[in-house]
Amino acid sequence: SAAEKGGYDYFMLKEIAEQPKAVADTLLGRIDAAGSLTLDEVRISTAELREVDKVVIVACGTAFHAGLIAKYAIEHWTRIPCEVELASEFRYRDPILDPRTLVIAISQSGETMDTLMALRHAREQGSKVLAICNTNGSTIPRESDAVLYTHAGPEVAVASTKAFLTQLVACYLVALYLGQVRGTKWGDEIRAVIRDLSKISQEVERVLKTMEPVRELARSLATKNTVLFLGRHVGYPVALEGALKLKELAYMHAEGFAAGELKHGPIALIEKDLPVVVVVPSPRGRSVLHDKIVSNIQEIRARGARTIVIAEEGDEAVAPYADHLIRIPATPTLLQPLVATVPLQVFACELATARGNEVDQPRNLAKSVTVE
């Protein structure tokens, strides 16, 4: 009913709007007065966590994209090697698992059969499994050794939005916690990241207030057949997520690429007026990446692409090559997906509406996929 949708036309719009609160709620109560993470709910002993020599993340769809981003944070903050694998592929290739492997299963519903089968396989090999899940008491957390719940609240729309942002927050917390337990990240550094994370809730709010031009742009592209998405570093999984949202909601051909791969093939797809969304890393910090993506944008624009550029406020270097410029607040590099994904969600939702599609219940899809 309209009341359930809180005055929004679709659950998806309501859930997009709830993201600042969802992000804040997922952080709540997980840091003590001294600035240390208190993840007591993660019932894997610190002794066991110190022994971990490999992290393997398994998940599907949007949760898999959260896992891809988590890899950057986990490896950067803990120096533990991390692999990310589609849950549906995992157990069929006889993966190398032992008691020192920490498997993280990410799932909004906690009922996804592919993810469940992957974690069962991991536990049979003696690995510890930590679930990151949004649904209390669902099957995946029940069958895991430990669980870190995301506090997004119920997600009704088939297209995952607020669950994704909270999965990212939970992954950052796990990465920092591993760092804390193993001594690669300490009080001050953890406090600094938590401070940045706490601020991000307001930044997401700010992004949401500037979405009208994105909606307008989406409507203007309603008759297109294809949209491409490019990104680098954590912007690459964001590009994959933008493409997935567009596929499931707008039923358009959408594909995400690592921008550096362009010249290895995908650039052949570029033709006049093809919309290409580019997620640009911050010019601060990893400026090498930034400069490389600016030249990627130039390359595709020279071949006629219509460039839709998502870039940090104050990043003037990209402006001349952007046919459409979507501004996002400046954030630390690893946290950028929390703000960069939001315009892509709005974009896909509005395109779906403009094409007359059912936003909350896309064709052929179910909210949780309980068959393999």
List C-alpha distances in Å: 116 to 23, 96, 109, 148, 333. Answer: 25, 18, 11, 16, 32
Residue/partner pairs of 202-206 with CB below 8 Å, 24 or more apart: 202/20, 203/328, 203/329, 203/331, 203/338, 203/339, 204/19, 204/20, 204/23, 204/165, 204/338, 204/339, 204/342, 205/20, 206/329
Q: Which residue is nearest to ligand AGP (CB)?
A: 61
Strand order in the sheet with 146-149: 82-86, 54-59, 101-107, 128-133, 146-149
State the nearest-atom distance from the C-beta of 338 to ligand AGP, in Å.
17
Q: Considering the complex, what minimum distance in angstroms separates the CB of residue 330 from ligand AGP?
A: 27
- What is the Cα–Cα distance from 353 to 246, expressed in whole angstroms? 11
Nearer to ligand AGP, 132 or 311 (CB): 132
CB of 66 to ligand AGP, least distance (A): 9
Residue whose CB is less far from ligand AGP, 107 or 127: 107
Kindly tell me the sign of the dihedral angle through the C-alpha atoms of 71, 72, 76, 77: negative
**Which CB atom, from 63 or from 346, has the smaller least distance to ligand AGP?**
63
Nearer to ligand AGP, 192 or 366 (CB): 366
The least distance separating ligand AGP from the CB of residue 63, rounded to whole angstroms, comes to 4
Write out the residues near ligand AGP by the rule CB under 6 A: 60-63, 107-109, 112, 115, 158-160, 248, 368-369
Rounded Cα distance between 337 and 62, Å, is 13
What are the tokens at 117? 């089968």
CB of 132 to ligand AGP, least distance (A): 9
Catalytic residue IDs: 367
The nearer residue to ligand AGP, 130 or 311, going by C-beta atoms, is: 130
